[in-house]
Amino acid sequence: MAIDETTVKELLRVRGSYLFHREGQELEFKEQFNLGGLADYFRDFAAFANNRGGHIVFGVKDSPRIPIGLTKSSIDQFNKIDPEKITGFLLDIYSGDILWEQAIVEIKKKAFGVFRIHEAATKPIIAKKDEGKDQIIKNGEVYYRYGGRTQKIQYAELENIISKRIEQTNNQWIDLMKKIGRAGPSNAAILDTEKSLIEKDDAKILVLDEDLAEKLKFIKEGQFSEKDGAATLRLVGDVVPVDKVDVIRKVRENLTRAYPYSALEVAAEVKKKLPDVGANQVWKAIQDNDVKNNPDYSAYNFRNKKQEDEFKKSGKLPSATPSLYNRKAVDFLVSVLRGVVKK
């Protein structure tokens, strides 16, 4: 989901010369963006995720709060952000997924960098390691957004998060047991959607792909029963009774062969052809021409099978899912932007 420019403009609304909105539980202002301050920003990411989510807006002067916009240096550094790498860093530092988006929004010829952080589905988000200068992020700490500041979580908020998590887990167990009750224990098996693994008694069967998870209805001893058109299943070694069967996992297509460029690399390739074009113009051309949703040019690089399945089911793209691009995308963007540069 892209950042809503209307929301950002509201957050930066002025009354006289000063900003109308103050920092709060869902809003943080910073004067300029610096890649060296990522650990500080990541601390805020966790704090927002553990509360109700929020925005970090770069380009606002402190004391008094005046929207001054980003300097050219800050814009250049903001444009160097690789969403895939940042998401990887966050997964390495914290215990759970932090969903986020980034954008540069122009208001009255001034550029503002924006991070939007979503409320975490599973809380608390806990630091797994020390990170940053002076260990601004510390192993085992939980950060929370209080008013206009980020700090270590207090007892009351942590207790509330834990209570909600216990309630959430209990509801999931109740729902699961109801489904098992309807099917009957003899007809029930456990499907681990993250590992694509079905377990029943001592049997462990790896599902080849998401289609077979639905098509595979039952297994007879020594053979598979398939509907017409279903993919053939291959066994490892000799055919054996079902409680001993292991099915080899299908190796998914290596997307990087078909789509070798990250977003940053696409911008760099375009810049080789059009030196006057900035990364921000490339991002806008990608958005305006819906390049991300065109398989002729791009493919989504989902972090896991669960994300991909949810996208296919709901049509909603998980936040911060990186896109990969091919050479045709570069050539297309060059053709689009060449006209812009000439103007």
pLDDT, tens digit, for every residue of 167-219?
Answer: 988 998 898 888 888 888 777 777 665 555 667 666 655 554 444 444 443 43
Cβ-Cβ contacts under 8 Å for 338 (sequence gap 6 or more): 273, 274
The answer to whether residue 236 scores a pLDDT higher than 70 is no
Asked whether the whole model's pTM tops 0.85, one would answer no
Q: Are residues 140 and 275 in the same domain?
A: no
The first and second tokens of residue 36, run together, are: 């060296």
Residue 213 shares a structural domain with residue 336: no
Which domain range does residue 322 map to?
Answer: 255-342
**Same domain membership, residue 279 and residue 227:** no
Asked if the structure places residue 165 within a domain, the reply is: no
| Mean pLDDT, residues 97-103 taken together | 92
- Within a domain: residue 178? no
What's the pLDDT tens digit per position in 134-180? Answer: 899 999 999 999 989 999 999 999 999 999 999 988 998 898 888 88
Min mean pLDDT across 18-27, 93-102, 167-176, 197-206 is at: 197-206
Distance CA 68, CA 209 (A): 51
Residue 198: the pLDDT is 66
Q: Are residues 239 and 286 in the same domain?
A: no
Burial 196-228 (b: 16+ CB within 10 A, else e): bebebeeeebbbbebebeebbeebeeeebeeee
On whether residue 161 sits in a domain, the answer given is no
Gap between the Cα atoms of 144 and 52, Å rounded: 10
- Residue 242 shares a structural domain with residue 266: no
Q: At what angle do helices 72-79 and 279-288 cross, to 10 degrees?
A: 50
CA dist 208 and 252 (Å) reads: 9
Measured between alpha carbons, how far is 86 from 251 in angstroms, rounded to an integer?
26
CB count, 10 Å around CB of 286?
Answer: 23
| Domain co-membership, 146 together with 9 | yes
Residue 177 lies in a domain: no
Residue 265 and residue 135 in one domain: no
